[in-house]
């Protein structure tokens, strides 16, 4: 009877130990799989920065690292596509689509905080003549040079954009009409005094200034 009792106790202990080992192994396998499934679900929902965080030396670790590398590559690709969708490919400035979004956003902020907002509209004078006399490659150099000059002439909070062709715009948050006019004059004078393109070509620009709310409280009205 005592021998049978000892065998039963030994069997029960062995069973408990086996169950404990099986539980630990199951937890060790299920948690990485759960993390992988959660990361995949988050990415499907738009969270491209989500990673599994699996750091193991077995096959599950290899799978987790491969997933994280794929997710990082996908995030980088999507961000690049999004950047190209709102960026002018020649000058690197925001394009007309992003300009509209930024102007509407700044208008909402100005209305909310009752702050000033101004808009510069810039046009290169006789740009067709530049293309006709010097070629379109020189015309592109002029556009790139003007874009760089605009970046250097405005604050970090200002938003220079290329609307298309030889037309540019600059959104000036928290700016009065007098301040915006001074900015426009400074840009105009700098452009006139600065040779552009490889042939030392000089150009001039014309600039218009509108102010919120004096000239309108709508993005289309301000641009017109």
User: Which sequence positions are flagged as catalytic?
Assistant: 166
d(CA 185, CA 201): 20
- Geometric angle at alpha carbon 10, from 9 and 11, rounded to 5°: 90
Asked if 204 and 191 count as a contact pair (C-beta separation under 8 A), the reply is yes
Look up tokens 């709508």; give the residue.
218
> Sign of the C-alpha dihedral, residues 13, 15, 20, 24?
positive
- Contacts (Cβ under 8 Å, ≥6 apart) of 102: 94, 159, 161, 171
Alpha carbon distances (Å) from 126 to 46, 133, 165, 167, 202: 46, 11, 12, 12, 12
- Contacts (Cβ under 8 Å, ≥6 apart) of 131: 138, 139
């Amino acid at each position: 009877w005592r021998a049978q009792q000892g065998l039963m106790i030994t069997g029960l202990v062995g069973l408990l130990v086996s169950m404990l080992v099986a539980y630990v192994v199951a937890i060790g396998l299920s948690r990485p799989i759960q993390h992988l499934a959660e990361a995949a679900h988050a990415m499907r929902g738009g969270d491209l920065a989500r990673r599994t965080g699996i750091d193991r030396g077995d096959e599950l670790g290899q799978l987790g690292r491969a997933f994280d590398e794929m997710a990082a590559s996908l995030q980088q690709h999507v961000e690049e596509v999004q950047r190209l969708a709102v960026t002018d490919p020649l000058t690197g400035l925001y394009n007309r689509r992003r300009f509209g979004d930024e102007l509407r956003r700044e208008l909402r902020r100005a209305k909310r905080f009752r702050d000033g907002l101004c808009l510069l509209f810039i046009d290169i004078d006789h740009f067709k003549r530049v293309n006709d006399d010097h070629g379109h490659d020189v015309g592109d150099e002029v556009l790139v040079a003007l874009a760089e000059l605009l970046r250097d002439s405005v604050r970090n909070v200002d938003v220079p954009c290329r609307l298309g062709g030889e037309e540019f715009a600059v959104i000036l948050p928290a700016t009065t009409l007098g301040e915006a006019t001074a900015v426009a004059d400074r840009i105009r004078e700098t452009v006139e005094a600065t040779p552009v393109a490889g042939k030392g070509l000089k150009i001039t620009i014309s600039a218009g200034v509108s102010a919120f709310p004096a000239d309108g409280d709508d993005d289309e009205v301000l641009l017109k």
